[in-house]
Amino acid sequence: MKFTVPVEFLHRIPKSDLHVHLDGSLRLSTLIDLARKQHVKLPAYTESGLRKTVFKNAYTSLVDYLKGFDYTVAVMQDAPSIERVAYELGQDAIAEGVRYMEVRFAPQLHASENLSAAEAVRAVVRGLMRAKHEHDSSAAVKRGEDLPFYFGLIACAMRNFTKSMSPYYAQLMAALGESSKREIVQTASLELAKLIVKLVRTEQLPIVGFDLAGEEVGYPAADHVAAYQYVHQHFIYKTVHSGEADGPESIFQAITECHANRIGHGTSLFSCEMIKDRTVTDKNKYVDDLANYLASARIGMEVCLTSNLQTMPELKSIKNHPVCEMIKRRLPVTINTDNRLVSNTTVTQELQRLVKYIALTPKEFKNVIIAGFKSGFFPGAYVEKNKFVRRVIDRYEMLAKKYGVPLE
């Protein structure tokens, strides 16, 4: 019999979101309000109009999917706006039961003469901290009837960028002049790596991870080895957007050259036909070895079902998503939103889709939920993290009993 769960159970269980982009998760009403105040031109100034023209349910490609970021980033160029967006994201996540979240964004996209990358980071922390304080001060949390909210930040470097993407990139490209594009992106990512290490060490900001986002094909993670080595040497966790638009070799590169602790998306993990290295004579074995390594090393897979379906129309249905094979092979799978606005989703909705389209046992579903907390980079001591995970498990089991949801 197919495993099903009540929607209220999905809403009430503690959830995580380890892969959520700040600039892809604004409230539409906030985007419109900020655009009006800052004189940023939008294709429409109503929520229905923007849903029709930009933030659609279906996209034709990754390029089509990314168009909305031109507008969201444009209204996030000052500290108060960034803080507001972060605060509201924290509110929205907490309201649906998310109790651990790692918010990622590219500080250099928001840096200009009027706002440094460091100030952008501080603004995000302030917004999320305000949401955390409001929740953690509630009577339910104080009585132990609800869990506190924890969060961490993940700083994203860009695989590729242009002068038009931000004043920071324009200034950097002008300063480096005749340097190769590879040298320019290396410089940007290493500068970001050094900045976040400094902020963690001198200000104790909860920056828990380093990421690489943007165009994957033609812009290898290996170009950013120096940045990843730097954060690796300073005890910052690593994740890499890989296996989203490129094949299994991109994932291999992320774990072997960038020390990745988690993989962002990893949708092409089992796509043998995408392997380009001619020295790989047995492509099936290559994929098997890679998957086995990921599983045994407990390298988490940040799965974003709706987003993957929107940027990879060839999947056609969640039924065809490799998440089923990932779970079957015991990889640490986590379910995430990617972009709450752009993908028009929540963690609860992502879990609903997982249960609806993927045949899971009760134990497998529970493992997915708990993996979201175990795989988290967590801004605190390991002992503290373990205690929190234990509380998550206890609450999950209590709610499962209340709603008649089996555990095995």
The residues annotated with a catalytic role in the active site are 244
- Smallest CA-to-CA distance from 147 within 159, 135, 158, 156 is with 135
The end-to-end CA distance of the chain, in Å, is 13
Return d(Cα 379, Cα 360) in angstroms, integer. Answer: 31
Q: Which residues pair with 241 in a beta bridge?
A: 264
For the stretch 89-103, what's the b/e string if a residue is b when 16 or more beta carbons lie within 10 angstroms of its beta carbon?
A: bbbbbbebbbbbbbb
Write the single-letter amino acid at 238.
K
Tokens 């695989």 belong to residue: 159
- Go through the chain and tell me how many residues it has: 408
Cα separation, 370 vs 18, whole angstroms: 12
Structure tokens at 183: 């040298």
Closest CA to 17 of 366, 407, 399, 371: 371
The whole-angstrom separation of Cα 220 and Cα 251 is: 10
Contacts of 202 (CB under 8 A, 6+ apart): none
SS3 277: coil
Distance CA 214, CA 105 (A): 11
For the four alpha carbons of 104, 96, 62 and 67, in that order, the dihedral sign comes to negative
Neighbours of 52 (CB within 10 A): 12
Distance between CA atoms of residues 338 and 326, nearest Å: 18
